[in-house]
Amino acid sequence: MHSQQRIAHLVQYGSFSLAYSTLQDGLQYYEAHDGYLAYALYHGTRFVLADPVAPVSVWPQIVGRFLREHPDACFCQISWQMAQLLVTHGYAINDLGTDFQLHIPTYKFTGANKSDIRSADRRLSREGFRIAELPEAAVCWATVRNVSELWKQRRINKTRETSFLSRPIVFTDEMDTRKFFVLGPRGVVAYIFFDPIYRAGEVIGYLSNAKRYLETAPKGFDYAVTKFALERFRQEGKTVLHLGAAPLHGITDSEFLANSITSWLSRFLYPRKWVYNFQGIASHKARYRGEAEKIYIATRRKIPVVELIQLARVCKVL
């Protein structure tokens, strides 16, 4: 169970895409200065998840105090502002990938470059499927879990659920999450779950976090569900929809002093599907033609290969 104070910090300061992910099981916490850092401990190394959930004004204090106790920590999927801060503590900063997001009030599905999204929406209806957002009390969790298990059987890694940088799916009620389902004649064939993003005590938007589907799901269902969800969020006055990160996409390492080994390894892994479908994920998210923002990883070791392998194990990619 999470402390009420930690949840209060999240609701007040959790305005970045992975803020809600800091509540995932298995993480530890460093709490100070009206906020906290979430991290995973693996073989003595602390892997910090994203930015501090705290007022930006106290980031220097909370990070400085944390590093005095844990000087070898690695910071993963951080913002440009956090990267700037860590440079002052002697960190090398490498591009980790691209975070794609849509500005809900102004986003439009019109234009030739978004025809795939509109076609998927029409196809779903034409083939006899519909999209519905179900309240948590109406969700049959056994069905949801079964769809997930069948989905995993088609993956390269059939036994492990990715975690840390991608919050594992939770088959129970969760605070402020939204759940959208694709329903056919025989029931649920797909779903996407959205995590809340907060600012000053209010939900301002969502992150598209968990997606699962059967082989019978209509082609492009995720475009149709995202369109349906965004239009509902727009009616509610939300402002941002994060599509999630595309790891290793758009690596330039041009803004900060980067670690050359990390740069080489990132470029080497990006096109290799046997590790992870980095290019496919990036291509899918880029089709929305949203805003792209770099994310970063901060390391201190001159030769960070072991550290990067450990991070892959923390994420359960290896």
Q: Is 126 left (phi over 0), alpha (psi -120 to 50) or beta?
A: alpha
Q: How far apart are CA 247 and CA 25, in angstroms?
A: 22
Q: Which residue has the tokens 């234009």?
A: 111
Structure tokens, 227: 């369109």
Q: What is the DSSP letter of 283?
A: H
Confidence label for 268 from pLDDT (cuts 50, 70 and 90): very high
* Per-residue model confidence as pLDDT tens digits over 141-165: 999 999 999 999 987 665 567 899 9
57: exposed, middle or buried (Cβ count in 10 Å: 0-12, 13-18, 19+): exposed
248 membership: H or E segment, kind and range: none
Q: How many residues does the chain have?
A: 318
For residues 315 and 166, the answer to whether their CB atoms sit within 8 Å is yes
| Pairing mode, strands 35-42 and 45-49 | antiparallel
Q: What is the pLDDT of residues 9-40, one digit of tens each?
A: 999 999 999 999 999 999 999 998 789 999 99
**Mean pLDDT along residues 313-318:** 86
What domains, with CATH codes, occur in the chain? 4-100+247-314 (no CATH), 101-243 (3.40.630.30)
Q: Are the beta carbons of 131 and 180 closer than 8 angstroms?
A: yes
- On the question of pLDDT at 1 being above 60, the answer is no
Secondary element (H or E) of residue 178: strand 178-184
Token pair listed for 60: 């220097």
Residues 164 and 227: their CA atoms lie apart, in Å, by: 27
Q: Is residue 169 pLDDT above 90, yes or no?
A: yes
- State the residue for tokens 């006055």: 237
Higher confidence at residue 34 or residue 93?
93
